[in-house]
């Protein structure tokens, strides 16, 4: 068993310290100025023990896959810093334990996203499925950066600047020009970068198009955002003239697997990807299950459920319903917030708390010293669950409900807000639960 002292000794080795220096200097990853704490070492020791990994395995992973892990940390660090900035908080930097932790996560993700989710679940992480999905997305982003920018065997140290296919302009800025061509569409997309701002121009080839300019606090931030935009366009099939476009990503079903029993949910369970996160979808299937008198354990297998209830679960109709939820995110959130004037009522509470205590402390510990705005609440809202009811005779989704929660800050105070939707897509408020 690994203890906190083992972790501390490993971090204090000359090799590990040289890795930290390389990560900071060559990959521009901000490191915290806080000293290594016993609590942090103890937490990491527990994480390694739960993963059945020793420090020798971590060292081997760092030695063999160092450049990718550094890029992975770079991606996660940039994303978290951007999230902090959006929320008005300060990113203090990565801790000295980050190399060990990301090596551990990489070992699981090398297997699959599900392997990491199961590990997080075993450690009783709240939202383990969502956390694993977010980590896997960043893992894939790092893989893509390394693949696109690879020279020899080395990962790029600064993908955000190396990803540009740019030409210098007369004004000393940079520009990148891409085209999208298929049978029924010929479009162009161009970005001009000058100092702390960039201008995107897009439209049909042969036209002037339309332009949008965005400014940033620094040239570095501007460059990072431009690189992400270029990468996104290339992923959609855009390419520079004469360049072979990247194959477009296969459009997968929002529903990630067939339904099956689960100990966590009252009904048949599946998982969907909606609003950028993994979301549990629960099917009220008492009508089907009451007709079944076989071994219940068999119903925990999606393949068995599909074979048993073949052609009874209307997957195409369910998929269409999920696409409607994906498309109408804004409409549903606006309905939820407007129904009982949530933002105004919440700000009334904040004002009372500040008047009495000089601050308002939310359920998750977030401290507010001023009223919030509607967009901040919207940014915090997550789709945390879907329940649906099916007419198995007509093979239609008769109605469904969604649960909304808030994270960082938790404006809903640990509760979920339910919206009910009937077959005509008319919404009603289902109340606060939890």
> Could you report the per-residue pLDDT of 350-384, keeping only the tens digit for each?
899 899 988 888 887 888 888 888 888 888 888 98
Residue 108 pLDDT exceeds 90: yes
Residue 289: helix, strand or coil by DSSP? helix
In terms of domains, do 425 and 332 share one?
Answer: yes
- Shared domain for 177 and 145, answered yes or no, is no
Q: Which of 98, 129, 157 is the last residue of a domain?
A: 157
Is the confidence at residue 276, as pLDDT, over 60? yes
Q: Does position 58 have pLDDT exceeding 90, yes or no?
A: yes
* Residue span of the structural domain in which 282 resides: 260-433
- Is-contact 257 271, C-beta < 8 A? yes
| Tens-digit pLDDT profile for residues 23-55 | 888 888 888 877 787 878 888 888 999 999 999
What's the gap between Cα 395 and its chain centre? 33
User: 166 pLDDT band (50/70/90 cuts)?
Assistant: very low
Residue 149 is predicted with a pLDDT of 55
Q: How far apart are CA 83 and CA 77, in angstroms?
A: 10
Q: Are residues 191 and 151 in the same domain?
A: no
The helix/strand/coil state of 99 is: helix
Q: Which two tokens stand for residue 312?
A: 């009874």
Q: Is 101 contained in some domain?
A: yes
Same domain, 30 and 64: yes
Whether residue 414 sits in one domain with residue 324: yes
Domain contains 251:
no
Contacts of 396 (CB under 8 A, 6+ apart): 314, 317, 390, 423
| pLDDT > 80? residue 67 | yes
Are 307 and 391 in a shared domain?
yes
- Band the pLDDT of 169: cuts 50, 70, 90: very low
* 175 and 267 fall within a common domain: no
pLDDT > 90: what percent of the chain?
A: 14
Which of 108, 125, 157 terminates a domain? The answer is 157
Which of the 8 DSSP states describes residue 297? G
Q: What is the pLDDT of residue 161?
A: 34
Q: For 328-373, where are the alpha helices, taking DSSP H only?
A: 329-339, 342-357
Calculate the CA 152 to chain-centre distance. Answer: 31
What is the C-alpha to C-alpha distance for residues 323 and 272, in angstroms, rounded to an integer? 10
Task: List, in sequence order, every residue forming a beta bridge with 268; answer none if it has no partner.
Answer: 261, 283
Q: Count up the domains in the chain and report the number.
A: 3
Q: Mean pLDDT, to the nearest integer, of 180-204? A: 83
CATH of the domain at 195: 2.20.140.10
In a domain, 368, yes or no: yes
Same domain, 377 and 304: yes
Is residue 208 in some structural domain?
A: yes
On whether both 278 and 422 belong to a single domain, the answer is yes
Can you give the C-alpha Rg of the chain in angstroms?
25
Give dist(CA 306, CA 289) in Å, integer.
Answer: 13
**Average pLDDT score over residue span 83-99:** 81
pTM (predicted TM-score) = 0.44
């Amino acid at each position: 068993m690994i203890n906190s002292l083992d972790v501390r000794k490993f971090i204090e080795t000359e090799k590990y310290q040289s890795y930290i220096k390389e990560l900071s200097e060559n990959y521009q990853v901000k490191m915290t100025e806080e000293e290594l704490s016993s609590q942090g070492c103890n937490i990491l020791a527990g994480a390694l023990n739960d993963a059945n990994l020793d420090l020798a395995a971590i060292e081997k992973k760092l030695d063999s896959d160092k450049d990718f892990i550094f890029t992975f940390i770079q991606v996660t660090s940039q994303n978290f810093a951007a999230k902090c900035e959006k929320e008005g908080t300060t990113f203090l930097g990565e801790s000295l334990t980050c190399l060990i932790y990301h090596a551990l996560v990489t070992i699981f993700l090398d297997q699959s996203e599900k392997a990491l989710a199961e590990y997080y679940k075993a450690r009783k992480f709240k939202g383990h499925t969502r956390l694993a999905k977010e980590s896997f997305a960043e893992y894939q982003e790092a893989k893509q950066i390394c693949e696109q920018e690879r020279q020899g065997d080395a990962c790029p140290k600064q993908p955000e600047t190396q990803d540009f296919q740019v030409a210098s302009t007369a004004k000393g800025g940079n520009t990148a020009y891409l085209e999208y061509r298929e049978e029924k569409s010929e479009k162009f997309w161009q970005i001009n970068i000058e100092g702390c701002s960039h201008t995107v121009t897009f439209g049909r080839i042969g036209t002037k198009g339309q332009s949008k300019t965005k400014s940033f606090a620094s040239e570095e931030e501007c460059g990072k955002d431009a690189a992400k935009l270029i990468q996104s366009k290339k992923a959609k099939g855009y390419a520079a003239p004469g360049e072979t476009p990247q194959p477009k990503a296969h459009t997968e079903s929002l529903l990630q697997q067939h339904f099956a029993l689960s100990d966590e949910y009252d009904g048949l369970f599946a998982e969907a990807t909606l609003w950028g996160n993994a979301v549990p979808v629960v099917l009220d299937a008492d009508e089907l299950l009451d007709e079944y008198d076989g071994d219940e354990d068999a119903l925990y297998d999606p393949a068995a459920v599909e074979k048993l209830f073949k052609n009874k679960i209307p997957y195409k109709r369910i998929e269409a319903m999920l696409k409607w939820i994906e498309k109408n995110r804004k409409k549903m959130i606006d309905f939820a917030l407007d129904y009982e004037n949530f933002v105004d009522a919440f700000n009334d509470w904040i004002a009372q708390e500040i008047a009495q205590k000089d601050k308002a402390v939310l359920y998750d510990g977030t401290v507010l010293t001023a009223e919030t705005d509607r967009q901040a609440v919207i940014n915090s809202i997550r789709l945390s669950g879907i329940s649906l009811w099916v007419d198995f005779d007509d093979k239609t989704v008769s109605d469904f409900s969604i649960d909304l929660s808030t994270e960082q800050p938790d404006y809903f105070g640990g509760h979920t807000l339910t919206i009910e939707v009937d077959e005509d897509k008319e919404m009603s408020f289902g109340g606060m639960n939890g």
